[in-house]
Structure formats: structure tokens, C-alpha cells
């Protein structure tokens, strides 16, 4: 029973992380007049091909380069904000409950996995938001890649700090997230004609 509940908690944490990432894009689309509701995004139960849609595509296509770059970074910015919130909660609250602790550690590390998958992997093979940013400001690709490398090293270190009783579930979800999201973004980018 503990195994099933732990896997379910991992799924819920990952779903929320992906939803919050898309909300990060949606907030900026709303601010720039391309979307009505920041909280209405598309995240399927199978988690792949999540987007900030519905968006007024015509208005989005006519955003200035700077606004388009801000929208592209919006998801990562949201991941970063919630990474710090989760870290604060882990550090400040004495969590005795296994499941709450598992959720917070999943939430924390999966946000970082999402950031690493964009900043590092998404710049090695240009996909999704990183491809859009590199198209608008080519030098940012290399800045993002360097930041991604640094974040990846920090992320690997953070994985070594996970409490032992939670480690296997968190490691499995983090590895699956990075591999699947990386491959999913490549497929999504190729499918929508944005391939290299």
C-alpha cells in the first residue's frame, strides 16, 4: 500500500509542477493581452504536450521579441519561485509525516528537474521555449546553457541530500521527468515544425 500511495503522491506532485510551469507562461500571456485567464492551461493526465493554451495565437505571434522571450522564460521562473517555496517549507517545518515529506521533496526536486531539463537539455538540443528564446536572442542560448550546467551540478548535489527513506521514489520520478520531458519536448518540437 505504501508503494502505491508513494507513486500516486509522485504523480500528483509532478502534475502540479507541470501545471504551475504552464501557468507561468499563461500569466505573461494574460499580461500581454493574449489570454483571458492565467489559470486555464492544458495539462493532460498523461502529462505530455502540456501548453499554456488556450491563447490568442494571432496576438501571441505578434508579440515583440522582448515580450516573447519573457513569456518563454515564464514557466521556468514559476518553477524557480516554487522551488524556493518548497525549500523554505522543507527547512522550516519539522515534518514527521512520511507522505507529506515525500510530497514536499518531490515538489522541490521536480521543479528543479523541470528547470534543468529546459536550461541544460533544452539548450543542447534546441527545443520548445529554449528554441524560441535562441531564435529571438541567439546569445542567450549559450548563457542559458552555462546556467543550465551550473544548475545541473547543483541539482545532482541536492539529490544527494534527500532523506534515505524517500530517496528511491524521488530518484525514479526525477529521472523519469528529465528523460521523458526531454524526449517529449523533442517530439513536440518536431511535430509542430519547430525542429532544428
Tens of pLDDT, residues 107-163: 999 999 999 999 998 888 888 889 899 999 999 999 999 999 999 999 999 999 999
Interacting residues of 184 by C-beta distance below 8 A, sequence separation 6+ = 48, 49
Cell of 68: 516573447
Domain residue ranges of the chain, discontinuous segments joined by +? 1-194
Confidence band (pLDDT; 50, 70, 90) for 193?
A: low
Could you tell me which of 64, 70, 75, 82 has the C-alpha nearest to residue 25?
75
Q: How far apart are CA 128 and CA 119, in angstroms?
A: 11
pLDDT at 81: 98
Spell out a b/e string for 42-52, using b for 16 or more CB atoms within 10 Å of the CB, else e.
Answer: ebeeebeebeb
**Mean pLDDT of all residues belonging to the chain:** 91
pLDDT at 192: 66
pLDDT digits (tens, 9 = 90+) for 88-107: 999 988 778 899 999 999 99
Nearest 10 degrees: Cα torsion 179, 180, 181, 186:
90
- Using only C-alpha atoms, the chain has a radius of gyration, in whole angstroms, of 17
Amino acid at each position: 500500500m505504501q508503494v502505491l500511495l508513494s507513486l500516486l503522491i509522485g504523480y500528483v506532485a509532478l502534475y502540479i509542477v507541470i501545471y504551475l510551469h504552464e501557468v507561468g507562461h499563461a500569466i505573461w500571456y494574460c499580461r500581454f493581452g493574449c489570454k483571458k485567464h492565467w489559470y486555464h492551461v492544458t495539462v493532460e493526465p498523461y502529462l505530455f504536450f502540456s501548453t499554456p493554451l488556450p491563447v490568442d495565437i494571432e496576438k501571441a505571434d505578434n508579440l515583440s521579441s522582448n515580450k516573447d522571450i519573457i513569456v518563454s522564460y515564464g514557466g521556468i521562473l514559476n518553477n524557480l519561485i516554487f522551488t524556493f517555496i518548497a525549500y523554505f517549507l522543507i527547512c522550516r517545518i519539522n515534518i514527521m509525516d512520511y507522505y507529506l515529506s515525500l510530497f514536499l521533496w518531490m515538489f522541490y526536486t521536480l521543479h528543479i528537474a523541470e528547470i534543468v531539463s529546459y536550461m541544460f537539455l533544452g539548450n543542447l538540443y534546441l527545443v520548445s521555449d529554449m528554441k524560441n528564446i535562441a531564435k529571438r536572442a541567439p546569445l542567450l542560448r549559450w548563457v542559458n546553457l552555462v546556467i543550465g550546467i551550473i544548475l545541473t551540478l547543483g541539482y545532482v548535489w541536492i539529490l544527494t541530500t534527500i532523506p534515505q527513506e524517500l530517496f528511491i521514489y524521488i530518484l525514479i520520478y526525477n529521472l523519469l521527468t528529465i528523460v521523458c520531458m526531454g524526449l517529449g519536448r523533442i517530439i513536440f518540437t518536431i511535430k509542430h515544425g519547430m525542429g532544428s
